């Protein structure tokens, strides 16, 4: 039988010498020791064991799992283990397909955002789940810790880029001059992404139902707070067309980009409204553009 020294088997399989010694400690390979020289010699069967180990590692099993599957598992046990990895692979394929769609959507939104500043549309704001962790106002900045969210912070940030940074101005604050600069900051995820990815909806996440809203995009300086003062155009549009605010105002951060030697932020704005006349009758010239925007922002 052909035998190989540890350096030879290392080069043959592109496996570090230290790893081969680890395999020996675990009983995955069993070299023959020459008592006169002290050298250990490995057979082609040892090489096959190492290659099978590499196969299971590539499938996604841990080092200990791979060794146990080669040494100790029966056929039914191996089938069960492979089934668990098959399910993981199906989910990963699903996840990366969704990610590709989301990134394409992100590109299209960026391409359109700057052209939508001070453009106003009546659209259906999508259903979402949100978590708010910071607020600013007359009494300064108030924050929550990740621990205080009872797992919601970690759950949402694990799902970037499907989860967006968000701002909220409560409807009741709009009627109180002392609170005109107050807003909250946090995270939001559209229900369609949460459902598709099986995101765990935790108690600290607020469910915000779909609603008719004025939609636009605003442009902020890098450190400029989201506030009512920046939404003057939204309220003028509402007043002109006979709409009333009908819920909390949601801002969704699109991106921070560099323009003319400064960093600026583009933010989607959704202001829930109610009105008297049918939307289509009031804005017939915007319906075609609105349908295109729904594909991007809803």
Return the pLDDT at 104: 93
Return the pLDDT at 297: 75
Return the pLDDT at 281: 43
**Exposed e or buried b for every residue in 256-267, given b needs 16+ CB within 10 A?**
eeeeeeeebbbb
Return the pLDDT at 43: 93
Cα 210 from Cα 217, distance rounded (Å): 19
**Contact status, residue 161 vs residue 110, Cβ threshold 8 Å:** no
Two domains, one topology: 3-73 and 99-297: no
Cα 211 from Cα 279, distance rounded (Å): 13
Give the side-chain half-sphere CA count within 13 A for 239. Answer: 6
Residue range 3-73 forms a domain whose CATH class is mainly alpha
CATH number attached to the domain at 99-297: 3.20.80.10
- Residue 286's pLDDT band (boundaries 50, 70, 90)? low
Phi then psi for residue 213, to 5 deg, are -150, 155
Burial (CB count <10 Å: 0-12, 13-18, 19+), residue 200 = middle
H or E, element range at 43: strand 40-43
Q: Which two tokens stand for residue 49?
A: 């064991």
Cα 117 from Cα 216, distance rounded (Å): 6
Q: List the chain domain ranges.
A: 3-73, 99-297
CA distances from 13 to 51, 52, 254 (A): 8, 11, 48
Percent with pLDDT over 90 in the chain: 74
Beta strands across the sheet bearing 40-43: 3-5, 40-43, 32-33
- Position 107 pLDDT exceeds 80: yes
- Residue 1's pLDDT band (boundaries 50, 70, 90)? low
List Cβ neighbours of 249 (8 Å cut-off, separation of 6 or more): 168, 169, 171, 174, 231, 234, 269, 270, 271, 272
Return the pLDDT at 177: 80
- Which residue would you say has higher pLDDT here, 298 or 84? 84
What's the mean pLDDT in 98-112? 92
**Contact status, residue 291 vs residue 297, Cβ threshold 8 Å:** no
- Whole-prediction pTM value? 0.80
Give the pLDDT confidence of 223-246 residue by residue, as tens digits. Answer: 888 999 899 999 999 999 999 999
Cα 243 from Cα 151, distance rounded (Å): 38
């Amino acid at each position: 039988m052909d035998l190989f020294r540890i350096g030879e088997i290392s080069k043959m399989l592109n496996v570090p010498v230290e790893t081969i010694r680890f395999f020996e400690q675990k009983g995955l390979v069993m070299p023959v020791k020459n008592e006169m020289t002290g050298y250990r010699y490995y057979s082609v069967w040892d090489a096959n064991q190492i290659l099978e180990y590499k196969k299971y590692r590539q499938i996604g099993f841990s080092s200990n799992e791979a060794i146990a599957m080669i040494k100790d598992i029966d056929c039914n046990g191996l089938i069960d283990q492979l089934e668990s990895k098959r399910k993981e692979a199906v989910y990963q394929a699903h996840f990366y397909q969704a990610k590709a769609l989301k990134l394409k959507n992100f590109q299209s939104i960026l391409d359109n955002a700057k052209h939508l500043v001070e453009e106003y549309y009546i659209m259906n704001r999508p259903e979402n789940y949100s978590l708010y962790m910071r607020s600013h106002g007359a009494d300064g900045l108030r924050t929550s810790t990740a621990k205080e969210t009872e797992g919601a912070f970690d759950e949402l940030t694990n799902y970037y880029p499907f989860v967006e940074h968000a701002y909220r101005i409560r409807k009741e604050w709009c009627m109180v001059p002392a609170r005109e600069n107050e807003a909250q900051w946090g995270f939001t995820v559209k229900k369609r992404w949460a459902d598709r990815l099986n995101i765990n909806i935790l108690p600290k996440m607020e469910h915000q139902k779909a609603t008719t809203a004025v939609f636009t995009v605003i442009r902020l300086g890098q450190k400029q707070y989201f506030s009512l003062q920046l939404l003057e155009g939204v309220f003028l549009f509402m007043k002109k067309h006979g709409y009333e605010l009908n819920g909390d105002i949601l801002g969704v951060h699109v991106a921070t980009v560099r323009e003319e030697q400064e960093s600026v932020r583009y933010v989607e704005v959704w202001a829930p409204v109610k009105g008297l006349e049918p939307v289509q009758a009031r804005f017939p010239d915007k319906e075609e553009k609105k349908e295109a925007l729904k594909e991007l922002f809803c």
